[in-house]
Structure 1
Amino acid sequence: MIEFKLSDSQRFLCLCIRHYNYLNNQEIRSLYNAVGDQKLFQEASLNGVVPIVAHALDKVFSGDIPEHWMAEYNKISQRIESYMNELDKVSSLLANNGIPLVALKNSGITRGMYPYYGACPMGDVDVLVSKKLFRKAHKVLTHENYKLKFRCPFEDDSLEAAEHGGGAEYSVNLPSGEHLWFELQWRPVAGRWIQPDQEPDADYLIQRSIPIEGSDVKLLSPEDNLLQVALHTAKHTFVRAPGFRLHTDVDRIVSSQKVDWSAFVKRVIQLKTRTAVFMSLAMAKSLLETPIPDSVLKELSPAKWKVKLMVAWLQRVGIFEPDAPKWSKFGYIIFVSLLYDHFSDLVAGVFPKSEIMKEQYHFKSNWLLPYYHCKRLANLVLLRVNT
């Protein structure tokens, strides 16, 4: 078990963003009265969790809460409803073209297991399709006026670059007047430091996915879903934007579904992602009291020195306020290196196998390997979103 030092305001936020069915009403009431409404609203705003906290307070105080909480909840609820309507529309269009679609992360959790839209703030919708059907799906989307456009200024807005990198981003205006960023992925995680052989295969995940009643959208199996969100949280180094609220993904999956922990642990070890997944699960348990078995954490735990170092570092850079500066470039690289289970995995992450390099950069000659390794290293170090 890991522990973080929390202020009363931070403890309050942790209590309020827990799964709706597991709120500690008494402690929430006590902290709310002790800290004060304005201070807590400010803290929730800084952490992007106002609507989630509003949902909790509405239950705890039986609707008797200041209007500014519910105003934000209702605004987000309308936005997410329009997102989910669009997700259903796209899934039907793709299904009619023989393309199964799986909703990832918060998108899948919201559509498939946590239908309190106002308590599910998200900046985009993420979906997974087979790589073999990626271009076909792109064609369907562009026919619906989806514009291929990466938010990161360093990315090349081309289908070829999207296909090589693991997925595409699209900009679209919805009938509701909302704007949506839609991410079409064939790699389920696609982090710069996460290699393709360290993340589950998309076709494998799609084959194991489960239907959502009343929709063509599919949801990852509980074990696959938990693994994917744990790796995604690690990809954001647990604290980078959207930061703190990412831990609700782990909490909602574990609290809503029955996880085959034995199969889950086996898969994590097979993919050599023990450290990253352990930290994601341990943080959810520490901060949100997510019911993750101690035996699972014990089996996945890396060396004690590594856990102690990472916890202390995360405490220093700040678990909360995701938009605040977190890492220097050098610090970020060192911290990410700790996410690898073994030194050999780190070397493989920095210098991938020749086959992976050739597939990613589309070349055949071994003579070009040094050039593309240098190009990849430059991308890893320089072309990185500020942290």
Structure 2
Amino acid sequence: MNTILEFDLTSEQRLLCLCIRHCDYLDIAQIIDLYESIGDDRLFEEAELNGVASIVAHALEKCLGEKHAPLHWRNVYDATSVRIENYMHELERAARLLEKHNVRLLALKNSGITRGFYPHFGACPMGDIDVLVSKASFKKSHEILSDAGYKLKFRCPFEEESLEAALEAGGAEYSVTLAGGEHLWFELQWRPVAGRWIQPEQEPGADELIERSVSIAGSAVRLLSPEDNLLQVSLHTAKHTFVRAPGFRLHTDVDRIVSSQEIDWALFTSRVKHLRTKTAVFLSLAMAKSLLGTPVPDEVLNELSPSLWKIKLMKGWLERVGIFEPDAPKWSRVGYMIFVSLLYDSVGDFMRGVVPSNENMKQQYEFSSNWLLPYYHLRRLSNLLFRRINT
């Protein structure tokens, strides 16, 4: 089966894709050719619109030479670099605070990629820091961070700002003021993905991820194993339906992991199948390969591929809502729910996503009485239908 996704791109979009590729594998000749054809102003506008200006700046300086890239690229790169360096200092501080109490902290997604193996701070824009701890140590971690000045505060106005609500949702958000007065959003999670449509049995457990995690030289921060890292960012990209903010930039997570680390593909695909997340992971990998040229083996895509009709339907839908400009309107409520339903590998998995097992409901909402099951099922269904948070 041909599992290559081919998207119709404008010249500007094609250049963006070339520029956000892993910096060690840039197609310099093609970038220069398109850059000269398109012009600097148009490229800068598109890069800003897609939230990747500092990544493009890094690529242009590598391709054109630092002296030949216009100054505004250097300015946006430097501003991002300073901010992300401050974020990384705070990440390390939090990890060392928790380490003193025998709590292991794993950096997730862009946070882990930047701290672990892609230390080009200016080319790693992020809006927050995401970390993982075990559920058993979540309350302790909350207390430690609160004592250190972290303020429990959710960005979404519909979220209840309480530790109990955070435990129920799979994680908490904190407002942090850094040493220089800069603000940071810090996400402490015990579920590695924690989307409302993703059931606990369809994401790796925090305890097993922590056990398989690897150390980072000279750091208290730990990193997911390569296979777990790729699986987690693939599910996270799917959680954002591949296009919702930060959208387009999320594909760099897959690209940087695959391009930087040795992936045991047999182990990776076995874990994907075990979690019954082939469709979601396939699309994440296939889009990174199609858009950025990420070297995902064809045999891996073939092994994970859903049916051809589903690939064509989802590809066409993504093109219609737009795979670029992540802050633009993307989905109607009904369209969003239908698209998410297609991400499940089977109808049975979709039904479990809508109506989880009683055991999962009791674990998530922390109750034991069967009499409470109807209330919590109705509460969850209401959230799925009328609130779009943590998706």
Q: Does 1:312 align with 2:316?
A: yes
1:69 to 67, 73, 80: 73
- In the TM superposition, what is the alpha-carbon distance from 1:163 to its structure 2 partner? 1.0
CA distance in structure 2 between the partners assigned to 1:210 and 1:385 by the alignment: 31
TM-score, normalising length from structure 2? 0.98
Structure 1 counterpart of 2:11: 8
CA distance in structure 1 between the partners assigned to 2:181 and 2:11 by the alignment: 39
CA offsets 1:7-63 (integer angstroms, 9 cap, x no match)? 000000000000000000011001101111001100000000000000000000111
Map 1:161-172 onto structure 2 (within 5 A).
Answer: 161-172=165-176
- In the TM superposition, what is the alpha-carbon distance from 1:103 to its structure 2 partner? 0.2
Q: Which residue type is aligned with residue 368 of structure 2?
A: K
CA distance in structure 2 between the partners assigned to 1:362 and 1:2 by the alignment: 42
Structure 2 counterpart of 1:351: 355
Fraction of identical pairs, as percent: 67
CA distance in structure 2 between the partners assigned to 1:375 and 1:385 by the alignment: 14
Structure 2 counterpart of 1:322: 326
- In the TM superposition, what is the alpha-carbon distance from 1:287 to its structure 2 partner? 0.2
Structure 2 counterpart of 1:236: 240
Map 1:172-191 onto structure 2 (within 5 A).
Answer: 172-191=176-195
CA distance in structure 1 between the partners assigned to 2:181 and 2:84 by the alignment: 12
1:60 to 58, 63, 78: 63
Contact 2:243 2:318 survives alignment (8 Å): yes
Q: Does 1:157 align with 2:158?
A: no
2:366 to 362, 365, 369: 362
Q: Which residue type is aligned with residue 152 of structure 1?
A: C
Q: Which residue type is aligned with residue 249 of structure 2?
A: R
- In the TM superposition, what is the alpha-carbon distance from 1:368 to its structure 2 partner? 2.6
CA distance in structure 2 between the partners assigned to 1:361 and 1:206 by the alignment: 23
Pick which of 377-386 and 195-204 moved more. Answer: 377-386
CA distance in structure 1 between the partners assigned to 2:222 and 2:132 by the alignment: 10
Q: Does 1:197 align with 2:197?
A: no
Count residues in correspondence.
387
Q: Does 1:38 align with 2:33?
A: no
Partner SS for 1:264:
helix
Map 1:107-118 onto structure 2 (within 5 A).
Answer: 107-118=111-122
CA distance in structure 2 between the partners assigned to 1:205 and 1:362 by the alignment: 23
Partner SS for 1:183:
strand
- In the TM superposition, what is the alpha-carbon distance from 1:385 to its structure 2 partner? 4.2
Q: Does 1:128 align with 2:132?
A: yes
- In the TM superposition, what is the alpha-carbon distance from 1:373 to its structure 2 partner? 1.2
- In the TM superposition, what is the alpha-carbon distance from 1:363 to its structure 2 partner? 2.6
Contact 2:195 2:390 survives alignment (8 Å): no
TM-score, normalising length from structure 1? 0.99
Provide the aligned C-alpha RMSD in A. 1.0
Which sections of structure 1, spanning at least 5 residues, go unmatched?
Answer: none
- In the TM superposition, what is the alpha-carbon distance from 1:367 to its structure 2 partner? 2.9
